[in-house]
Structure 1
Amino acid sequence: MVHVTSRIFVSLIVLLSLTFSSCNRQSDDTSRHTAYVAFAGSLAVVNDQEVGPAFSHATGYGYQSHAGGSFGVANLILSQEISPNVFESVGLAPIAKLDPRFTTWAIGFATQPLVVAYSPQGPFSAKLKAIADGKLPFSTLFTIMAQPGFHLGRTNPETDPQGQAFIIMLKLAVQRYHLSPTLMTSILGHDDNPEQIFAETALVSRLQAGQLDAASAFLPQALQNHLHYLTLPDEINLGNPTMADIYATQGVTLKQGRQVGTPLVLYVCPVKGTPSPEAGLSFIRYLLSPAGKALYQKNGYQLIKPRIVGGTQSLPADIYAELLQ
């Protein structure tokens, strides 16, 4: 009886081992055929709802994603807490943190200008709409945001380029409209004011719920979520690459150093040493194809002439050929 029981026990162990081994092989096979794309939170809608599914349908590769502030995502890659094979960033600085250990080239392909989204039900909504309609001077926006009781939302400048851009935008506005420098303090309190800082995905829901009077946003976010928003002039919206010299006149001091104003260009790069590099490169190739760029344009992003960082000799030949089309 003991002998029979022992044989049954051994058989169960073998069966469980084979099952576990099979699951591991399936998991490995999945990771080898999946584009794991990490990106700035503002890209979640276009990637998860449009580009990712279209890419999988066109190529047969799987798709998974991780969204967060661009600098926060870069730090997760550096610490190897996540292992994506593609990284999309707002601005080049987060990607520069990965060079050369995790990547050696990147391509800029679109911009997303900053806007100020606002609640249509709030106590300040009538004046904000009047500014949007051109019935009040645009500079009035900043005096309204400085009023007591105005509830403003923005992202963390230490981890998110949008949070940095919003502060730099205000400094550019003070410069452009000859406003009092003390207005910055009245609007922000201080750069890392916890009463104003929220996760990028939480800003939209809080604004829609009427918990905020206004919030920072990128133009595609405002369009995708059907938000009311104020279009900012090119001189302060950080969305026009030809105005880089103007943007560079202002900056924000962070724990990791000073960040100078730069155009809000979207960059994509591969991440080395991660599963399925072929699937990652296939995603980049699709993203930069006419079909991929059309989906970005449809979602409010403004396409630009590709910007190659790292030199053309670093790019795979087929991706470089895609850029020449």
Structure 2
Amino acid sequence: MINVLRFFCFFIINICLSISCNNRSRQNENYSDTLYILHAGSFSVPLQWIKDSFQNHYPYIKICAEACGSKQCIRNIIDLQRKCDVFISADKKLIDSMLVPHYADSSYFLMSNEMVIAYNNQSKYAQNITKKNWYQILSKDDVCLTFSDPSSDPCGARVLSVITLSIDYYKEPMLYKKILGKDNIIIRSKEVDVLTLLDLNEADYTIIYKSVAIQHQLNYISLPDSINLSNFKLADWYKQHFIQYKQSDGTIKRERIEPIEYGYTNLKTSKHSESVKKFLRFMRSTPVKSILEKTGHKL
């Protein structure tokens, strides 16, 4: 029953947060301006809090927010020319490499995060998994792991990073194949689909951001800094390692592993410069920092 209620609440929240303002040509008569924000799915909950707080200060500015994987957001901006004033990415370097300088002038650091092993009470071996044996549990043939698609979502690429770093950290050369080479791995394009599988007990575990596990009241196992991608002092260690995955066009992408950095930017095509300036200034404010900390992020 708890899982059903949590899934229902989660479903309703994401319906609200993913609204892209279908009637964009109409604006509520109480608003004088509208900001369109595309953002990483993992930022949905804090953005709702930020949106509410911002509109308390600027009630005449309406915010329309749409969530999907950060890489998909960028494709929507570039390929589909989706209306967007501000983009919030789970990976700052995506902004730097794909949007700057043609679509945006620069990017801004927002926060960090860390990767954890998340599960619920019905997950196989939920009573046995620990910080010391999590990789052995995930290697079991009857355990189903789910995560987001690395080609559309940075979180999916970071799952591969965690496993890759774990090979050296635990001195388990076959770990990648043991965990990711099984037939029952489930990969979904969006984080919401991954969490749904977990809530419906169609998957046992996922590797996901700590903030998301906290926000959705999941059980989770914390990982050592050497593999959880949260410690900037270990950046040199992370960067010694690489991951590979197939992109949507069939080509193989090779990426250096780096610490988690969320970032945001304003788009050059925005026609709401004054409202954008107010929002960007608000994103650097104390209330936003407080919201990020309360929702499980690292500043």
**Deviation (angstroms), 1:169:** 0.8
Alpha-carbon deviations, 1:172-226, whole Å to 9, x = none? 01101101x2221121128xx8941122012222212222110121011011111
TM-score normalised by structure 2 residue count: 0.84
**Deviation (angstroms), 1:279:** 1.9
- One-letter amino acid of the structure 1 residue matched with residue 260 of structure 2: L
Alpha-carbon deviations, 1:264-295, whole Å to 9, x = none? 11111111112313222222211111111111
Q: 2:270 aligns with which of 274, 281, 291?
A: 274
Cα distance between partner residues in 1 of 2:29 and 2:264: 25
**Deviation (angstroms), 1:35:** 2.0
Tell whether the 8 Å contact from 2:144 to 2:184 is kept in structure 1 after alignment: no
User: Does 2:157 match 1:164?
Assistant: yes
**Deviation (angstroms), 1:45:** 1.0
**Deviation (angstroms), 1:26:** 4.9
User: Does 2:146 match 1:147?
Assistant: no
Unaligned runs of 5+ in 1: 1-22, 133-137, 304-325
Cα distance between partner residues in 2 of 1:92 and 1:253: 19
Instruction: Specify whether residues 127 and 278 from structure 1 end up closer, same or farther in structure 2 by C-alpha distance, changes over 3 A only.
Output: same
Alignment partner, residue 294 of structure 1: 290
Alignment partner, residue 5 of structure 1: none
167-176 vs 193-202, which deviates more? 193-202
Cα distance between partner residues in 1 of 2:181 and 2:76: 29
User: Does 2:230 match 1:236?
Assistant: no
Alignment partner, residue 52 of structure 1: 51
User: Does 2:35 match 1:43?
Assistant: no
Give the structure with the larger helix fraction.
1
Alignment partner, residue 182 of structure 1: 174
Tell whether the 8 Å contact from 1:203 to 1:215 is kept in structure 2 after alignment: yes
**Deviation (angstroms), 1:24:** 9.2
Cα distance between partner residues in 2 of 1:24 and 1:51: 21
Match of 2:45, SS? Answer: helix
Cα distance between partner residues in 1 of 2:24 and 2:296: 41
How many residues align? The count is 269
User: Does 2:209 match 1:218?
Assistant: yes
Q: 1:202 aligns with which of 172, 193, 198?
A: 193
Tell whether the 8 Å contact from 1:286 to 1:292 is kept in structure 2 after alignment: yes
Alignment partner, residue 117 of structure 2: 116
Tell whether the 8 Å contact from 2:70 to 2:89 is kept in structure 1 after alignment: yes
Tell whether the 8 Å contact from 2:149 to 2:156 is kept in structure 1 after alignment: yes
Match of 2:296, SS? Answer: coil
Instruction: Specify whether residues 102 and 150 from structure 1 end up closer, same or farther in structure 2 by C-alpha distance, changes over 3 A only.
Output: same
Cα distance between partner residues in 2 of 1:117 and 1:107: 29
Alignment partner, residue 84 of structure 2: 84
Cα distance between partner residues in 1 of 2:99 and 2:200: 37
Cα distance between partner residues in 1 of 2:113 and 2:212: 9
Tell whether the 8 Å contact from 1:30 to 1:62 is kept in structure 2 after alignment: no
Instruction: Specify whether residues 51 and 209 from structure 1 end up closer, same or farther in structure 2 by C-alpha distance, changes over 3 A only.
Output: same
TM-score normalised by structure 1 residue count: 0.77
Cα distance between partner residues in 2 of 1:101 and 1:256: 25
Cα distance between partner residues in 1 of 2:215 and 2:266: 27
Match of 1:149, SS? Answer: coil
- One-letter amino acid of the structure 2 residue matched with residue 241 of structure 1: F
**Deviation (angstroms), 1:245:** 0.8
Cα distance between partner residues in 2 of 1:227 and 1:237: 17
Moved over 4 A (4+): 23-32
Alignment partner, residue 106 of structure 1: 107
Instruction: Specify whether residues 210 and 30 from structure 1 end up closer, same or farther in structure 2 by C-alpha distance, changes over 3 A only.
Output: same
Tell whether the 8 Å contact from 1:91 to 1:262 is kept in structure 2 after alignment: no
Q: CA RMSD in A?
A: 2.2
Match of 1:157, SS? Answer: coil
- One-letter amino acid of the structure 2 residue matched with residue 189 of structure 1: G
- One-letter amino acid of the structure 1 residue matched with residue 214 of structure 2: L
